[in-house]
Amino acid sequence: MSEFEAEIDHLRSVTLIVKDLTESIDFYTKTWGLHVVDQGEHMVQLRARGEEHHVLELRQGSEIGLHSISWGTPSLEHLKRMCERISSLGVVISSEPHELKEHSGGFGFSFLDPEGRVHNVVSGSQKYSPLHIESLVDGACPTKLSHVVVNTLDVAKMSHFLQSVLGFKLSDSTHKMHFFRCNANHHSIALADFGSVSLNHVAFEMGSWNELMFGVGRVKLAGYELQWGLGRHGPGDNIFSYFLDPNGLVVEYTAEVQQITNPSWVPGSPDQWARPPERMDQWGFSPQPSDVIKKAMGGQLGLSGKIAA
């Protein structure tokens, strides 16, 4: 465990590159339940029901995938201290602390992890009141970004970086997955030992299992096949449901994520979490993940999850 006070205290947002921005905006607003807060010629920022200015940014590009992950710190002092601290440890600072020009405001800097992913750290950005929503979709909007899972080629190096450099804590490990927290949420980021440096999936938290069910129903009725779920994961104890968005990115509705408040928490080991393949979730209810989502989670992005009309 790290011996310093970690500066990052929450996951803010992810930025994804999509080939078809128009179709993505249509999906994430009309079907997924997010709301546009800022839009440019080649980008859009979308908020959830919670206070964060945006939880998802989409950028038009030629390659589908993860552009960056954005983290929050409690104060500008935390942000500056973190930048100095990790810089002294040899971390590549790709953007020095500066006032952000985007509408959400605040202060930020960016760094690269050992596998070259871009991470943004932000403090003081604009927050919304949860009541400031103009249109709820079935009352079943995501409340916030829950977690991002990335595939890695070097679990040991990335795990060490998250814990010893950034100050995350290991919550649980399975043979293929390693879950890390920066607050009470069981995991805000997880590493998947899937043999590539790529995006595995992005999860959005729903306010309750009932809202999750309304959301899943809405996505299915819009023509998107439920690729994995419904079930309740072992590590994290969260309810899960996975879909492919129009660009083939894997997105999840989740709910009831385990909260770890015990400072003496001992991470579960791969042997403790081992289970037979026919029992992929605690309930024994979920079918196996579809072949297409297994490929997409492994980094083969761009596959279609929409059922042909």
By C-beta, is 52 or 252 nearer to Fe ion?
252
Options 56, 86, 170, 203; binder of Fe ion; rule CB under 5 A: 203
CB of 201 to Fe ion, least distance (A): 6
Give the CB-nearest residue to Fe ion.
203
**CA-only gyration radius of the chain, Å:** 18
CB of 303 to Fe ion, least distance (A): 18
By C-beta, is 172 or 252 nearer to Fe ion?
252
250 strand-pairing partners: 244
CB of 149 to Fe ion, least distance (A): 6
Window 160 to 179, contacts with Fe ion (CB under 5 A)? none
Structure tokens at 99: 């006032």
Structure tokens at 166: 């950034």
149 strand-pairing partners: 190, 201
By C-beta, is 211 or 252 nearer to Fe ion?
252
Residue 273, Cβ density class (10 Å: 0-12 exposed, 13-18 middle, ≥19 buried): middle
Window 236 to 265, contacts with Fe ion (CB under 5 A)? 252
Residue 121, Cβ density class (10 Å: 0-12 exposed, 13-18 middle, ≥19 buried): buried
Window 7 to 26, contacts with Fe ion (CB under 5 A)? none
Q: What is the dihedral of CA 54, 58, 59, 64, to 10 degrees?
A: 140
CB of 278 to Fe ion, least distance (A): 21
Q: What whole-number distance in Å separates Cα of residue 122 and Cα of residue 132? A: 22
How many residues bind Fe ion, per CB under 5 A? 2
By C-beta, is 69 or 203 nearer to Fe ion?
203
Q: Please give the residue ranges that form the binding site for Fe ion (CB under 5 A).
A: 203, 252
